[in-house]
A = this chain, B = another copy of it.
Amino acid sequence: MRQTDLPAPAHSAHRVQFYETDAAGLVHFSWFFRYMEEAEHALWRQAGLSIHAPDGEFGFPRVSASFDYHSALRFEQEFDVHLRVASLSKKTIRYTCLLSDGDRKIATGTIVVACVRRRGPEPMAAVEIPADIRTRLQPPDAEG
């Protein structure tokens, strides 16, 4: 699968809220993971999906998550979140994320999520991503 076959990245604009800052006057580092997830869920909606539909059969728990922080974010600052599907395996999705303010790189992150059955046995085990979800997150011509 070529990178260029993957869906266009999701862009979203965000303004730093006061409750996202900490006593150092900066956005607390844990918030970047929430910004990344917010963009993931927006990407799913753009693809006509909900990652956690009320009666959905599948869930997508996080397998790993990371961020590299390049510059700080402060109260009321505006920034962009760019997220894309970097790769799709049978049972997992890997996203990469860039937070930026114009040309300034703020942070780069990655999350890997696995597909599981929401009411499946414990401990949770990864299962194949359903075809309709796979197709929507990846253009059909990438299948060949």
A residues adjacent to B (C-beta < 8 A): 17-19, 21-26, 28-31, 33-34, 37-38, 41, 45, 50-52, 54, 59, 61-69, 71-72, 74-76, 118, 123-124
Contact = CB atoms under 8 A, between A and B. Distances in A.
Nearest to A122: B72
Nearest to A52: B75
Given A45-B76, A67-B65, A25 B26 contact: no
21 contacts: A17-B34, A17-B38, A18-B28, A18-B52, A19-B37, A22-B23, A23-B25, A23-B52, A24-B59, A26-B61, A29-B33, A29-B61, A30-B33, A33-B33, A50-B75, A63-B68, A63-B69, A64-B67, A65-B66, A72-B123, A72-B124
Contacts of A50: 75-76
A41 B17 contact: yes
Copies of this protein in the complex: 4
Contacts of A63: 68-69
Nearest to A104: B123
Contacts of A54: 74
Nearest to A25: B23
Contacts of A30: 19, 30-31, 33-34, 37
